[in-house]
Amino acid sequence: MKILQGLTTFRLTMLALLVHGVAAWFSVGWHHPDEHYQLIEFTYAITGEKNASTLPMEFAAEMRPSIQVWLTFAILKCAGFLQLTNPFILAFLLRLFTAVLCIVSSLQLQRALSFTYAHLQRTHLILLLFAWCLVYLHVRYSSETWSAALFVLGISMLLMKKQGFWTGLILGLSFAFRFQMGFALVGVGVYLLLQRTSAKYLFWLCAGGLLSIGFVSWLDSVFYGNLVFTPYTYFYQNIVNKVAAGFGVSPWYWYFSQTVEQLIPPFSLMVVAGFVLLLLQPAYRLIGCAALFFVLAHSAVGHKELRFIFPMLFFAPLAAIIAWQWVYERLNKATYKKLWNGMARLFVPVNAVALLIILFKPAHELAHVYKFTYQLPAGSTLYYIGQNPFMSGNNEATFYKKKDLTVLPFTQYKPTTNTYVLTEEPVVPTIPNAKPMLVYTSIPDWLYAFNFNNWIGRSNQYMIYEVSHD
C-alpha cells in the first residue's frame, strides 16, 4: 500500500491498465450466462445465423435492450476486417474494451469527488483501480458493468456540474444498457428536486436522457423487426407475468447479508456503514440517494441475484473511505495510526490473494474445455458423458464451438478418426477394443497434493480422452 501511495496518478493508471489487461486475458468465459447468451449469442440474430427458436426466450419476448448487442456486433465486425476470428481473442477484446471504459469512469469519479484528507483521497483511487472485486467487475462484458460505468460517468458529470444535455445523454444510456439502473436514476431525480436544481438544467438533463432512450428504442425496433419499447416489455414479462420470480425468490434482507459475506468482513461492514454515511454527507448525498433507491427497489423484488447490485460496488471504495474518515475524526493521532497500520496489514494481503485468484482464474469453469476443443483437428467428434458442454439449458454456446466439430452424447458413440470423449467423472470411459488416452483435465495432478478436506471431490471436473481403436 505504501508503494502505491507514493506513485503518481499517471503511474497508477498505467499499472491499473496492466493489471486489468492480465485479468481480461485470463478471465475467460462469463460470470453469468446472460453475459454471453444475451449479448454475444444475440449478435447471430443480426447476421441471420440464428432464429428466435435457437436463442434465449428473451429474444422472442422482445424484452432485452439491444444497444450492447449492436455494440458487440460492431466490435466483432471491426475485428473481422483485421482478420481476427479466434473467438477467445475476440472475447478478450470485448473484456479489454470494457476494462478501459471502467478505468476512465473511475478516474472521472476521482476527479469529481472532494476529500478532506489527502491520504484518504489517494487510498480511494487505489481502491477504485485495484480492489479485487472491482477488477473482476471491470473485465466483465456484461450489461451490469457497462450500465454502471456509464452511470459513474454521468454522476461524475453531475458533481462537476457539466452541461446538462450531455450528462442526461450519458445517464440515459446507462438506463438503456440495463433498465434496473432506473431505480438509481429515480434517486438522482429526488436529490436534484430537493436541492432545488434550476428548471433550465433539469430540462436539458431530461432532454439528453430522452434522446438517448429514443435512439435506443429505435435500435431495439430494428433489432426485433417491429416497433417495440423494451423497458415496458421487460417490466411486463418479469413483474406482470412473474417470469423473474420463477427463478426463485429471496428475503428482503438478502442483499445486505450477501454483501457482508462476499466482500469479506470486517471490510464489508465498513462498506455497508459507509453507504449509510453517504446520506449524511452533503458532498456525497447524491451518490447516497442513488444507492438507497437502487438497493431498496431491488430488495423489494422477490428474485435476487448478487450481480443485480454490482453497479453500486463501483461506489464501494467511496463508502469505505467515508466510514474510515468517520473513525479518523474520532480518534487521537497515535491510536488512529495503530488502527490504520493494523487494517492495512490485514487488507493488503487479503486483497492481494483475492486479486491473484481473479487475475488468473477463468470466469467460467468450462472456458478451458472450449479452448481445448477449439484446437482439435478438423472434423473431430466429441462425445460427452453427462451434459453437453456447449449447452446451457436450451441455449448453445455457438460462439466458442468450432464449426467443424461434431458434438454428440456418448450413447451415440461410433468409432471414427479424431474421436474424443468428455466426462465429468474421474473414471476412464469403457470402450470396447479402444485405448482412451487422457489429453485434457481441468484439475492437473499436482493440485491433488493440496486436496485439503477433499475440495477436489466437491469440485466440477472435466476430462477429455482421445480414443484410438485397435
pLDDT digits (tens, 9 = 90+) for 392-412: 888 889 999 999 999 999 999
Q: What is the pLDDT of residues 84-106, one digit of tens each?
A: 999 999 999 999 999 999 999 99
- Indicate the DSSP class of residue 240: I
Count of other CB atoms within 10 angstroms of residue 13: 17
What backbone torsions phi and psi does residue 42 show, to the nearest 5 degrees? -65, -25
**DSSP 3-state of 141:** coil
Q: What's the pLDDT at 450? A: 61
The answer to whether 347 and 13 have CB atoms below 8 angstroms apart is: no
The label of the residue with cell 497508477 reads 12
Give the best-scoring range by mean pLDDT among 114-128, 166-180, 316-330: 166-180
Cβ atoms of residues 321 and 214 within 8 Å? no
Within 10 Å of residue 426's Cβ, how many Cβ atoms? 11
pLDDT at position 47 over 90: no
Helix segments in 113-239, DSSP class H:
118-130, 132-138, 143-159, 164-177, 181-194, 199-224, 230-235
**CA pair distance 52, 364, nearest whole angstrom:** 25
pLDDT at 333: 81
The string over 333-372, giving b where at least 16 C-beta atoms fall within 10 Å of a residue's C-beta and e elsewhere, is: eeeeeeebeebeeebeeebeebbeebbeebbbebbbbbbb
Q: What is the mean pLDDT of residues 182-189?
A: 96
In this prediction, residue 336 carries a pLDDT of 82
Length of the chain: 470
- DSSP annotation of 305 reads -
Confidence bin at 457 (pLDDT 50/70/90)? low
Question: How far apart, in whole angstroms, are the C-alpha atoms of residue 3 and residue 12?
Answer: 10
User: H or E element: which one contains 261?
Assistant: helix 254-262
| Distance in angstroms (rounded) separating the CA atoms of residues 269 and 69 | 37
Task: With H, G, I as helix, E, B as strand and everything else as coil, classify residue 178.
Answer: coil
